[in-house]
Chains A and B, each alone.
Chain A
């Protein structure tokens, strides 16, 4: 009962505070609008539908006729033949020469040995290169699936090119051109996600500050002199801030969807889990900060620095793909943001699950650390 009493006391205090609504709902919504609308015209968020040209692809069999035949048959499928026409070329040198003269747009060299990888020769057209990467990937995965199926059926003794070709021809190619067409996120969607994650991280600052205020006003000591146990006090307050953050996320998602038309492509369970993990990690950082620093100002500086640095590295303010890949992957908001972007782009569930797994790992590590520090906050 004491736990729920402290929890409700903390929650009701923040819900009654007018500044809560301004700082944690109004300000982020304004930021989403300002960033989303002002950066909508920038190069990275341009929403132009690219009209894909039909590419001429030079194919060199180099003696592995079965594989070359399989690819030719794959390319004849309606979904693929709309984008490419195959031109058989006898040697790799001839293919290179034709690519140089731009007589073909792209080159594929199928090696003699089955185990060796297919050689891809890119042309000068960036769009065709991207498109061909997608098509060849699809062919490779269809081949792999076919090989696995044969193995499962115990009929792998002789995988003749004919059998493979027939099978691949039967399979349905799922070629997606999402990355280069209207399937990328809009500026409003992008900043709605990054600002949401950033403000979820502020839960830690709010919680850490609340602990320091309790300490400074001696009410934390007074609570400790009652039968309430130290960790009961800390975790009840932590839960209150956790719930506050989930409410905040809910408000931001609903209002941004209704007012700005942000399409979140929500899977409710995933959103709750993702927001929950980000908030939990943030609260743990806030608790560690409160244990470490006695001054509220120092805690503010510490948390602000961490939040701004992590969000910037994750590309939350400006999209810098190279930097995000190099540094962002080691930050908390990067994975939180990726989960939302993956949902918005209808990516495979595995990508979302991977992101959730990384966030869970963060939560376990930070949770363990905060378990140690929680006692320090109340007993110093």
Chain B
């Protein structure tokens, strides 16, 4: 459905999107993950025609956004990261205004606006001003404005930022229903559990490139052979340059070490069972172990191991 081929976008010397290739299947929910500055928003802005493309192509159902922007935009609905609604006109008028820009008129317009408001649960507040809404309700209205024209592709750029759990669940439920009704969705988020809950496929972006792509199961498989060991020490480790960390990093059995407060997180080689070697290194540097937890890492750790950064900086 959506084909991104060798896409490049530069801002002076910085390459925001670097020869990116991506294919989104019709009917899927594609979760797009990446730390701040990974190039997600730049990619979305290029798909929606908000930013010109330096090189490469973006095609929706075979139609190029560069060559036929008006036609392609007709089939895309963008839910921007920031709430983009008029505070001084009613919720219904907001949805109507943007729906009309997609060419909806008359009875079709009324029905589509009703349906969009119904989907996000704002039918009862349709005649109220958004300035009287809670953050969650504004986010839902933000979505309604993007779906009234029934787009083939809905792009949601972090649609749940800063909202209450009730509104978040409502939005996630709306995404599922939209998908069941046939919409293809690109969903970006900083919340791994959200993406995990709704996405059929996940792509991880870093420094303008897609560094991992697949279903959640496929991505988990990449780190299934690793284990995570969390160690809490009595003395606390203040810096990543502690001699104990340096020695642990040099050890063949430790793949990676991160410092989280006074806890050390160690990624270990597969099937490693000589825990005493690690305890020996810590003791050698005067660190007494308080607690020790051994677990299989999740997507968050995959992200960390791939990018070297936390998902939420």
Contact = CB atoms under 8 A, between A and B. Distances in A.
Instruction: Tell me whether chain B's interface is mostly helix, strand or loop, or mixed.
Output: loop
B80 A218 contact: yes
B88 A13 contact: yes
A2 B76 CA distance: 17
A217 B102 contact: no
Interface in B4-58: 48-52
A222 B51 CA distance: 13
Given A225-B50, A227-B74, A229-B70, A218 B84 contact: yes
Contacts of B69: 227
B86 interface: yes
B97 A227 contact: no
Interface in B73-126: 73-74, 76, 78, 80, 82-89, 97-98, 100-103
A221 interface: yes
B74 A221 contact: no
A237 to B, nearest CB: 13
B199 interface: no
Contacts of B78: 222, 225
Residue from B50, B51, B145 whose CB has the most chain A CB atoms within 10 Å:
B50
A6 B85 CA distance: 14
A218 B78 CA distance: 12
A219 B85 contact: yes
Interface residues of A, number: 19
Contact of B101 (A2, A218, A221, A379): A2
Nearest to B74: A227
Interface centre among A219, A223, A225 (most CB of B within 10 A): A225
Nearest to A5: B100
Contacts, number: 57
A145 B100 CA distance: 64
Given A217-B87, A218-B83, A224-B50, A9 B70 contact: no
Contacts of A227: 69-71, 73-74, 101-103
Interface string A212-250: 000001110111111111000000000000000000000
A226 B101 contact: yes
B126 to A, nearest CB: 18
A258 interface: no
Contacts of A217: 84-87
Interface string A253-272: 00000000000000000000
A164 B83 CA distance: 83
A5 B101 contact: yes
Contact of A222 (B74, B84, B100): B84
A1 interface: yes
Mostly, the A contact residues are helix
Nearest to B99: A226
B281 to A, nearest CB: 52
20 contacts: A1-B103, A2-B101, A2-B103, A5-B97, A9-B97, A218-B84, A219-B85, A221-B80, A221-B84, A222-B80, A222-B84, A222-B98, A223-B101, A224-B49, A225-B76, A225-B80, A226-B101, A227-B71, A227-B102, A229-B70
A9 B88 CA distance: 12
Contacts of A224: 49-50
Contacts of B86: 217, 219
Given A2-B101, A379-B51, 10 more contacts: A1-B103, A217-B86, A219-B84, A222-B145, A225-B49, A225-B50, A225-B78, A225-B80, A226-B98, A229-B70
B48 A225 contact: yes
Contacts of A225: 48-50, 73, 76, 78, 80
Contacts of A226: 73, 98, 101-102
Contacts of B70: 227, 229
Contacts of A13: 88-89
A147 B66 CA distance: 69
Top 5 closest pairs, chain A to chain B, by CB: A218-B84, A226-B101, A222-B84, A225-B78, A227-B70
B104 to A, nearest CB: 11
A2 B87 CA distance: 21
A219 to B, nearest CB: 5
Interface string A290-301: 000000000000
